Amino acid sequence: MENCSKQWQGICQQIQRILYAHLIINQNNDNKHRPSSPMQWGNPETIQKLVVDGGSSDVSIEDIHFERRVVKIPVLSLNHYWARTSTKSGSVIQAIQAIKEPSKIESLKKDVLEAILPYYKDNELRLDYLITIAKK
Angle at Cα 19 formed by Cα 6 and Cα 87, nearest 5°? 65
**What was the pLDDT predicted at 122?**
95
Q: Please give the DSSP secondary-structure letter assigned to residue 12.
A: H
pLDDT at 10: 55
Rounded CA gap, 126 and 118, in Å? 9
β-strand 62-74 against 124-135: which pairing, if any?
A: antiparallel
Residue 79's pLDDT is: 94
pLDDT band at 24 (very low <50, low <70, confident <90, very high): very low
Tell me, what DSSP letter sits at residue 26?
A: T
pLDDT in tens, 35-72: 667 777 788 888 887 777 655 555 677 788 899 989 99
Q: How far apart are the first and last CA of the chain?
A: 29
Q: 38 or 120: whose pLDDT is higher?
A: 120
80-115: pLDDT as tens digits: 999 999 999 888 898 888 888 899 899 999 988 998
Domain range annotation of the chain: 4-36+66-130
pTM summary value: 0.54
